[in-house]
Structure formats: C-alpha cells, structure tokens
Amino acid sequence: MALRPLDNALPIAPARPKKQPKVAVSIQKLSDLGVNDENRAPLPPTTSDATIDYIPSENLKALSDPEIKIHRLVEGLESKDWLKVCDSLNNARRFAFYHSTLLLPILEKVMSVLVKAMKNPRSALCKTSIMASSDIFNTFGDKLLESTTSDAFDQMLLQLLLKACQDKRFVCEEADRALKVMVMSMTPVPLLHKLRAYVSHASLRVRAKAAISISHCVSKMGLEEMKEFGLAALVQITAELLNDKLPEAREAARSTVISIYKAFTENEEQKQESWQSFCQSSLPAIHAQAIVKIVPSS
C-alpha cells in the first residue's frame, strides 16, 4: 500500500554551497610594471621602448614644410603621449639643425619641455631630451643666454649635471656628452659664472661633474679671459675643489690649475710676478701651498 505524504511535513532545505578556498593574489609594485626607478638597474625595454630610435645628430634630416610644422611642435611637445613627445623632441632637433630661425622664438618653451622630459623616469624620454639639448647647444651656443631667461638655462644645466650622476650608464654618458658640447659651443666666461654655483652643491657627484666642466671651460681660456672672470676668484674656486671628497673633482681641479698656470706664465707682463707669490696673495697659506705643489714654481 502506498504511503501518503504528511500534510505537516517540513520542506527540505537546499544544500548550502561550499565556500570557495581563498587564493592569494600577488600585487605588483609600480616599479615592476614598466616604470624605471633611478635607484635600481634599468628594466628591459618594453615593446613601446623598443620603437624609440635614437637618431645620431649627423643622421637627422631636414623637415618638409617647416613653416607649417613649427606651429605643431609645441603641441606635440606638450602631449601626454610620451612617444609623441619623443617624436616632437627629434623634430625640435631637426629644427635646430636646419631651421633654427623658426625655432628661436619658442626656444625657451622648448627648453622648459626638455627639463620636464629629463625629470621623467622613462629612460627613453630622458635620453632623447638630453640628445636634443646637445643639438640645441651646438646650434645656438651663447644665444641660449641671450634669448632665454637665466632661470631656463639654469634649470637645464642642473638637470644635465644630475643626469650625468645617474647610475643608468646610457643616460649618464649622454649627459656627459651634452655637457662637453655645452662647453665647446659657449663663451667660457659667462658659462663659468653659471658653473661656479655648483662648486658648493650638496651632492658630491654634482660637484665633481661641475668641476670637470669648469676644467674643460678653463682649458679654452687665455689669460685675458681669466682676468675678465677674475683670476683670484678662479684659483679660489679651484682650491675649494682640490679639497673635495671625490677624486674626480680633485683631478679636474688639478687640470684647472695647470691651465691657469700655463696662461699665467706664458704672458710676458705677468712674469714680473711669480706664480707662487700670486697664489699666496690670493689664497690662505694652506690652500696656496696645495696649489703651488701641483706645478713647479715659475
């Protein structure tokens, strides 16, 4: 006989789903997601980085329709797309080489973008901006001080000194080249006035890079130019660098002393005063002694 269901029977509850086991998910840091950290080794190039072409200056080609493209240059430099900024920086280099009169009116704006790009942690953008600064130095030379504000030049000089101190070798080497081009393309005296500010910089490495640029600058100068800057001031700067902690700064200072000494002793009028007497009259005794030891007394 079939059993009848009970009218008061409770409904059977559905089975509760089992809890899913928790899975640990690793979270990548920003520095692991394609952004280079200046204090770490450079990351391998990404697909985007690999598309950057570092064009040597001698391989740059002139632009077609430069009068039209100059109006688009600033827009490209201010783009939020870093690849477009790199392309615009290379165009700025082309303008510097082949159409410099068109670039001159917006030169300060271009320098501002260069400084911003040098601060960018993306190495490709940083290197491209440094290469652009070399070409701008090479083309405009002293006009950079005549056609732009002092602050614009100072900011670019500071960034080049900082980048020359980096651990990223290819950025550091590019900045060193740019500083050499700067020295070769500009009149020594006004440039020395700019460089002397970094002799007392808080960073040892910045001081060393500034000392090297000062040495290159002084090697181009004759005695009259040294006197225009201030011969006593020049040996005082050099004496300060001779006591620096980094050997690169001290070696650059010794090279500077030799350049000053050669200019001093080759001048017929200056021979009436001995090199040793000049150093003793311009420096404290202990510093004068350190300077005189570098080269034989005249």
Q: Is residue 180 domain-shared with residue 202, that is, in the same domain?
A: no
Q: Are residues 147 and 237 in the same domain?
A: no
The verdict on residue 221 lying in a domain is: yes
Q: Are 198 and 286 found together in one domain?
A: yes
Burial of 265 (0-12, 13-18, 19+ CB in 10 A): middle
Domain stops at, among 159, 186, 213: 186
Quote the domain boundaries for residue 77. Answer: 54-186
At residue 25, does pLDDT exceed 50?
no
283 and 262 both lie in a single domain? yes
Let me know the angle formed at the C-alpha of 180 by 148 and 136, rounded to the nearest 5 degrees. Answer: 35
DSSP 81: -
Gap between the Cα atoms of 291 and 51, Å rounded? 51
- pLDDT: which is higher, 232 or 22: 232
pLDDT at 149: 79
28 in a structural domain: no
Cα distance between residue 200 and residue 196, in whole Å: 8
Residues 257 and 289 in one domain: yes
∠ CA 37-42-46, nearest 5°, is 105
CB 168 within 8 A of CB 42: yes
Residue 10 lies in a domain: no
CA distance 157 to 179: 8
The neighbour count for residue 62, using CB atoms within 10 Å, is 10
Last residue of a domain, one of 151, 186, 221: 186
Q: Do residues 214 and 256 touch, judged by C-beta distance below 8 A?
A: yes
pLDDT in tens, 39-88: 444 444 443 444 678 899 999 999 999 999 999 999 999 999 999 999 99
As a whole number, the mean pLDDT across the chain is: 85
Domain assignment of residue 74, yes or no:
yes
Q: Cα separation of 240 and 224, whole Å?
A: 23
Q: What is the DSSP letter of 294?
A: H
Q: Based on the fold, state whether residues 142 and 218 are members of the same structural domain.
A: no
Q: Residues 160, 208: one domain?
A: no
Q: Do 130 and 220 sit in the same domain of this protein?
A: no
Longest distance between any two alpha carbons in the chain, whole Å: 141
Provide the CATH number for the domain around residue 180: 1.25.10.10
Residues 178 and 279 in one domain: no
Query: Is residue 158, in this structure, part of any structural domain at all?
Result: yes
Specify whether 182 is located in the same domain as 223.
Answer: no
**What whole-number distance in Å separates Cα of residue 4 and Cα of residue 147?**
105
Domain assignment present for 22: no
> What gap in Å lies between CA 84 and CA 76, rounded to an integer?
6
> What 3-state DSSP class applies to 13?
coil
User: Residue 218 in 3-state DSSP?
Assistant: helix
Q: Within this chain, do residues 180 and 197 fall inside the same structural domain, yes or no?
A: no
Residue 126's φ and ψ, nearest 5 degrees, are -60, -50
90 and 68 assigned to the same domain = yes
Residue 158: pLDDT band with limits 50, 70, 90: very high
Average pLDDT on 96-102 reads: 96
What is the model's pTM? Answer: 0.80
Q: How far is CA 236 from CA 67, 224, 249, in A?
A: 49, 17, 14
Q: Check the CA dihedral 178-120-132-100 and report its sign.
A: negative
Please write the tens of the pLDDT for every residue from 164-186.
998 889 999 999 999 999 999 99
* Residue 42: inside a domain: no
Of the candidates 132, 156, 186, which is a domain's last residue? 186
CA separation (Å) from 121 to 10, 60, 84, 235, 286? 69, 26, 16, 38, 44
Beta carbons of 241 and 254 less than 8 angstroms apart: no
Domain count, the chain: 2
**What mean pLDDT comes out for the span 266-270?**
70
Crossing angle of the two packed helices 204-219 and 169-185, in degrees rounded to 10: 30
Cβ pair 267, 250 in contact under 8 A: no
Binned at pLDDT 50, 70 and 90, residue 146 comes out as confident
What is the DSSP-derived secondary structure letter of residue 120? S
| Inside any domain, residue 145 | yes
